[in-house]
C-alpha cells in the first residue's frame, strides 16, 4: 500500500460515488467466478450475473454529480431496486435500500454514520426474505454489522478494510453453516459477490482505477431474444446509423441525399434519411445490413450504428398485447424456450417475460410487463424459485393494479397452475385457488447435462452425463438421456400417486428420441398418461410436470 496515501476520516459524495462504481466494476470482473460457485452441478449458476446487473442498474442511476450521499443513495437504491433480479439481486437491492434509508439526510459519511447505515441495510436485507437462511450473503451482512457496531474507527480506509476482512472470514465459514455448500465444496455465491463489491469499493477508496468491462445488460441481449439456431430471418434487420460525411471520401457540398436515399430503397424498405450539415441519419429495414454499411462508407464513417433483428422485435411485440379495455384479470409469466413461451401465450398468459433459471428477469422487467396491461388484477407466475422475490418486489413497487404473485417455483409448477386456470372465475381468490390447489401435488423433474465430475445426493456423476433430477435432488446419472429419465421415474418416491406427466422437450431432443422415450415410459408406467410439448428450452433436455 502507498503509505503517503491520505486517510479518509470523512467521505464526500464524489468519493462514495466512485466507490459504488468501483464495487460494481469489480463484481462485474468477477461475475463468472461467482456464477460458477453453483451448488447444483448443472451449468445454470447466475448469482454473479444477477448481482452485477442489480449494481449496474444502480450505477446507471447516479451518473451526475451529487452534493449529498443521502440524495445519491436514494437514487442508487431506486435504480437498483428496479434492476434487481434473482434472489441474490433482490436481497442486495434491499440491503442497498436499507443503506439509503439509513443515509437519509446524511451529506458525508463518517465511519459512525456509515456503520449506522450499514445496520439499517442489514435489517432491510433480512426483512426481504421470509425465512432467512444462514450461510448466505445475509450472514456476511449480519456479522459485518456486528463487527462495525463493536469497533470504532478513525478513518474509512481502516474501517472498510477491517470490514472486508471480517466478511471474507464469514464467507469461508458459509460451508459450515449450510450443508449443501459443504457437499458441493463451494462457498456461498451471494456472499462471494458481496465480498467482490466491497473489494472494489476499497480499491476505489484508495484511488485505484478498476477497469470497466462492457455492461452486462448489453452483452446479454442476444441470449434474451427469441431468435435461435432453428430460426430463419423473416423480417430482416432494422438498421439505424449516423453517418459523418468525410471530405477525404466525398465532396460534401455536392453530396446528393436523394441519390443515397434511392440506392438505400433498392437495398431495403422503410427508408428514412435526414441530413444536418455533414451528418446524415439513416433508418432502413434490410436483409443485408453489411451491404448497406459498405455502401454508405464510400461517403464517410459511422458515428453510431444499431442493427436489430426484426424477427426478435416481431415476436416480442406478439407477446405484448396492446393495452385495451380494462380487463378483470391479466396474467404475467416468465418462461424460457420458444415453445414453452408460445404454449403459455396460448393458454391465457398476456405477457410472457423471457427468463427463468439461467436468465432471471429484473424487477423492472416485471414492471414493464405490468405496464403493458390494463387489468384490475395481475396474476404473476415467476416459475422459478430464484424469480419469486423479484416478482414480489415488483408487485410491491407497482400501483396501477392489484398484483398477486402465485409462488410457482418451476416451469412445471407454472404449467400446472395455468392448466387449471379459469379466467371466468368470479373472484381473484377463486382464480388463484384453482391455480394453486394442485401445486402441492406437482413434482418438478428434469433431465439436464452435468458440468463436472462429482457425487451429488449419493449419485456418482461424470461430466457430460445426463442427470435425472427432482427439483435439486439428483436421482440418476446416465450417458443416455432416455435412460437417465427412465431411472429418474423409477426412483421418484411418489410415482404411485401420479396420474399425468407433461414433458417439455428441449433443444437437442430429436423426434426419434422423444418417441423412444414415450414408448419406454408407456411400458413402465401404463397407468400414467404422458404427453409431450415442444418446449425449445436450452440446457434442460426435458422438463417434466409430474402430477
Q: Could you list the residues that contact another protein (CB under 8 A)?
A: 346-348, 416, 419-420, 422-424, 434, 438, 499-502, 529, 531, 533, 547
How far apart CA 235 and CA 338 sit, in angstroms, is 18
* Beta carbon nearer to another protein, 129 or 420: 420
* Beta carbon nearer to another protein, 277 or 346: 346
Minimum distance from residue 520 beta carbon to another protein (Å): 18
Per the CB < 8 A criterion, the answer to whether 87 and 54 are in contact is no
* Beta carbon nearer to another protein, 169 or 524: 524
How far apart CA 480 and CA 224 sit, in angstroms, is 29
Minimum distance from residue 233 beta carbon to another protein (Å): 29
Q: Scanning the structure block, which residue is given the C-alpha cell 390494463?
A: 374
Using alpha carbons only, what angle is made at residue 398 by residues 395 and 404, rounded to the nearest 5 degrees? Answer: 35
* Beta carbon nearer to another protein, 43 or 438: 438
Would you state the cell numbers that stand for residue 512, as one nine-digit string? 426419434
Minimum distance from residue 527 beta carbon to another protein (Å): 9
How far apart CA 284 and CA 237 sit, in angstroms, is 8
Other CB atoms within 10 A of residue 293 CB: 17
Closest CA relative to residue 476, chosen from 463, 494, 457, 495: 457
Closest CA relative to residue 262, chosen from 288, 284, 236, 289: 284
485 three-class SS = helix
Minimum distance from residue 499 beta carbon to another protein (Å): 3
Minimum distance from residue 482 beta carbon to another protein (Å): 20
Minimum distance from residue 515 beta carbon to another protein (Å): 16
* Beta carbon nearer to another protein, 267 or 420: 420
DSSP state of 509: -
* Beta carbon nearer to another protein, 384 or 547: 547
Minimum distance from residue 93 beta carbon to another protein (Å): 35
> Exposed, middle or buried: residue 7 (CB in 10 Å: 0-12, 13-18, 19+)?
exposed
Per the CB < 8 A criterion, the answer to whether 96 and 113 are in contact is no
Phi and psi torsions of 179, nearest 5°: -55, -35
Minimum distance from residue 500 beta carbon to another protein (Å): 3
* Beta carbon nearer to another protein, 236 or 414: 414
332 three-class SS = strand
Minimum distance from residue 441 beta carbon to another protein (Å): 8
* Beta carbon nearer to another protein, 357 or 498: 498
Closest CA relative to residue 143, chosen from 176, 102, 110: 176
* Beta carbon nearer to another protein, 149 or 318: 318
DSSP state of 223: G
How far apart CA 416 and CA 438 sit, in angstroms, is 7
Amino acid at each position: 500500500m502507498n503509505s503517503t496515501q491520505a486517510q479518509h476520516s470523512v467521505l464526500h459524495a464524489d468519493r462514495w460515488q466512485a466507490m459504488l462504481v468501483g464495487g460494481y466494476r469489480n463484481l462485474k470482473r468477477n461475475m463468472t467466478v461467482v456464477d460458477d460457485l453453483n451448488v447444483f452441478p448443472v451449468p445454470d449458476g447466475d448469482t454473479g450475473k444477477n448481482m452485477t446487473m442489480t449494481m449496474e442498474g444502480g450505477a446507471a442511476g447516479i451518473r451526475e454529480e451529487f452534493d449529498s450521499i443521502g440524495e445519491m443513495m436514494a437514487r442508487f437504491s431506486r435504480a437498483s431496486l428496479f434492476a434487481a433480479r434473482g434472489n441474490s439481486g433482490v436481497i442486495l437491492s434491499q440491503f442497498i435500500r436499507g443503506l439509503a434509508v439509513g443515509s437519509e439526510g446524511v451529506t458525508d459519511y463518517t465511519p459512525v454514520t456509515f456503520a449506522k447505515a450499514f445496520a439499517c441495510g442489514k435489517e432491510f436485507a433480512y426483512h426481504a426474505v421470509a425465512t432467512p437462511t444462514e450461510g448466505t450473503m445475509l450472514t456476511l451482512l449480519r456479522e459485518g454489522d456486528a463487527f462495525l457496531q463493536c469497533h470504532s474507527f478513525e478513518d474509512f480506509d481502516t474501517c472498510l478494510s477491517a470490514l472486508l476482512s471480517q466478511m471474507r472470514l464469514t464467507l469461508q465459514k458459509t460451508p459450515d453453516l449450510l450443508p449443501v455448500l459443504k457437499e458441493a465444496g463451494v462457498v456461498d455465491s451471494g456472499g462471494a459477490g458481496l465480498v467482490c463489491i466491497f473489494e472494489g469499493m476499497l480499491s476505489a477508496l484508495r484511488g485505484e482505477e478498476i477497469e470497466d468491462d462492457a455492461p452486462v445488460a448489453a452483452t446479454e441481449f442476444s441470449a434474451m431474444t427469441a431468435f435461435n439456431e432453428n430460426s430463419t430471418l423473416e423480417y430482416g434487420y432494422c438498421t439505424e446509423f449516423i453517418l459523418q460525411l468525410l471530405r477525404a471520401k466525398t465532396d460534401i457540398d455536392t453530396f446528393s441525399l436523394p441519390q443515397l436515399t434511392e440506392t438505400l430503397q433498392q437495398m431495403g424498405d422503410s427508408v428514412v434519411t435526414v441530413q444536418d450539415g455533414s451528418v446524415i441519419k439513416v433508418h432502413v429495414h434490410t436483409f443485408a445490413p453489411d451491404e448497406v454499411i459498405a455502401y454508405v462508407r464510400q461517403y464517410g464513417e459511422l458515428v453510431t450504428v444499431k442493427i436489430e433483428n426484426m424477427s426478435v422485435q416481431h415476436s416480442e411485440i406478439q407477446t405484448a398485447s396492446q393495452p385495451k379495455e380494462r380487463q378483470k384479470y391479466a396474467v404475467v409469466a416468465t418462461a424460457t424456450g420458444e415453445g414453452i413461451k408460445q404454449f403459455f401465450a396460448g393458454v391465457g398468459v398476456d405477457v410472457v417475460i423471457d427468463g427463468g433459471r439461467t436468465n432471471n428477469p429484473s424487477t423492472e422487467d416485471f414492471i414493464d410487463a405490468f405496464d403493458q396491461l390494463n387489468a384490475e388484477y395481475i396474476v404473476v407466475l415467476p416459475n422459478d424459485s430464484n424469480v419469486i422475490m423479484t416478482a414480489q418486489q415488483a408487485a410491491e413497487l407497482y400501483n396501477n393494479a392489484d398484483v398477486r404473485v402465485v409462488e410457482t417455483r418451476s416451469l412445471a409448477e407454472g404449467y400446472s397452475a395455468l392448466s387449471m386456470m379459469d379466467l371466468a372465475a368470479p373472484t381473484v381468490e377463486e382464480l388463484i385457488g384453482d391455480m394453486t390447489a394442485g401445486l402441492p401435488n406437482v413434482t418438478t423433474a428434469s433431465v439436464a447435462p452435468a458440468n463436472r465430475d462429482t457425487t451429488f445426493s449419493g449419485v456418482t456423476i461424470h461430466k457430460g452425463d445426463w442427470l435425472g433430477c427432482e427439483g435439486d435432488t439428483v436421482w440418476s446419472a446416465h450417458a443416455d438421456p432416455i435412460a437417465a429419465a427412465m431411472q429418474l421415474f423409477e426412483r421418484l418416491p411418489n410415482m404411485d400417486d401420479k396420474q399425468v406427466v407433461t414433458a417439455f422437450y428441449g433443444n437437442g431432443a430429436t423426434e426419434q428420441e422423444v418417441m423412444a422415450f414415450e414408448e419406454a415410459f408407456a411400458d413402465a408406467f401404463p397407468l400414467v398418461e404422458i404427453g409431450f410439448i415442444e418446449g425449445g428450452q436450452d440446457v434442460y433436455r426435458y422438463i417434466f410436470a409430474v402430477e
